[in-house]
Amino acid sequence: MSSFDDYLQREDPWQQEQQAAPKPVHINLSLIAKRNLPASIADGPHDELIAAIMKLTHVRLDRENIADIDNLEMLGPVTNVYLQQNQIKQIENLDSLMTLRFLTLAGNQIDKIQNMRMLDELKFLDLSENKIESLDPDELPKSLMILNLTGNPCTHVINYRTSLLKALPNLQQLDLVEVTRQERLEAGCEVSDTSDEEEEEEGEGEEMMGGPVVFGQDGDDDFLQLSADIILESQSRTQQYMALHEHHMDEIEEVRAQSQLTMNTGRSLKDSPRSDGSESKLSR
């Protein structure tokens, strides 16, 4: 068998990666401890482990091939949860996280927004690069200040942005674009005419993007990374992965074309008569 034929019989690298994908993972105590606690505590006495878990405010569970949001009731007063780049299909079981203010579910397989209205403290939500086709703005908490839905089919629906502005009175940024006073007016939203309140809102929006943000009496440094470190990183990884896939496909197409050219050349030599009128050796 020729090297061309051998190469063409190999599986597409994209298919190989899909077939080699690990089995879905479920959230449990061990996984939370491994990702968020020092090894000395994660592998230590059970009572010390539980105490440490209950003190966590930031929980990172990204890129673990997690299939379902579950078993989060073991956590304490968590404010930030990172679940991006998993295999999650449904938003659920968040009712135990009433102090949650920062949630990223980017790069999953979610097709519907639900079970979030009770999260009255949530300020930041990243649902980019999912499969959300239709959108009910009333399913989102009114407290949201930053929302990212880029990469979802629902962003192409007529009046998509207007409907969200009307439903979310505190929204400062939508899909990486700042919400302006003029945009709210054009959407038919109620906008205060008091200049002091306008300046306060604009200043808060600027802080959300470039400086410390204080909600109530608590500061949250993670808001310094809202667009740059989480949303843009997630999108960059997706783009790089797709570019690699396209490169592999281009290589395969090139090899196929070369193989076809070689076969066509061989047939041409076989079928063409020689100049002295005798039959080509290839046709004998």
Domain ranges for the chain: 26-220
- Cβ–Cβ under 8 Å, residues 161 and 171: no
CA distance 72 to 235: 27
- Cβ–Cβ under 8 Å, residues 112 and 90: yes
Q: Find the range with the poorest average confidence among 136-145, 228-237, 245-254, 255-264.
A: 228-237
Q: What is the pLDDT of residues 177-211, one digit of tens each?
A: 999 999 988 888 887 765 344 444 444 444 433 33
What pLDDT was estimated at residue 239?
A: 57
Number of neighbouring beta carbons within 10 Å of residue 244: 13
DSSP bridge partners of 170: none
Q: Provide CATH code, domain 26-220.
A: 3.80.10.10
- Of 212 and 148, the one with more pLDDT: 148
Amino acid symbol at 209 = M
For range 123-144, the mean pLDDT = 95
For range 8-17, the mean pLDDT = 55
Q: What is the pLDDT of residues 66-101, one digit of tens each?
A: 999 999 999 999 999 999 999 999 999 999 999 999
- Cβ–Cβ under 8 Å, residues 52 and 32: no
Percent of the chain whose predicted confidence (pLDDT) is above 90: 53
CA distance 146 to 85: 19
Nearby residues of 282 by Cβ (< 8 Å), 6 or more positions away = 266, 269, 270
pTM for this model (two decimals): 0.65
Percent of the chain whose predicted confidence (pLDDT) is above 70: 60
Report the phi/psi class of residue 71: left, alpha or beta, with left for phi > 0 and alpha for psi in -120 to 50: left
- Cβ–Cβ under 8 Å, residues 123 and 148: no
What pLDDT was estimated at residue 138?
A: 93
Rg (CA), the chain: 27
DSSP 204: H
Per DSSP bridges, beta strands 102-104 and 124-126 are parallel
3-state DSSP call for residue 125? strand
Q: What is the pLDDT of residues 18-74, one digit of tens each?
A: 556 678 899 999 999 999 999 999 898 999 999 999 999 999 999 999 999 999 999
Nearby residues of 105 by Cβ (< 8 Å), 6 or more positions away = 83, 84, 88, 91, 125, 126, 127, 130
pLDDT of 256 higher than 90? no
CA distance 130 to 153: 9
Question: Of 148, 115, 117, which Cα lies nearest the Cα of 130?
Answer: 148
Nearby residues of 164 by Cβ (< 8 Å), 6 or more positions away = 135, 137, 140, 147, 171, 174
Q: Work out the end-to-end distance of the chain between its first and last CA atoms, rounded to an integer number of angstroms.
A: 22
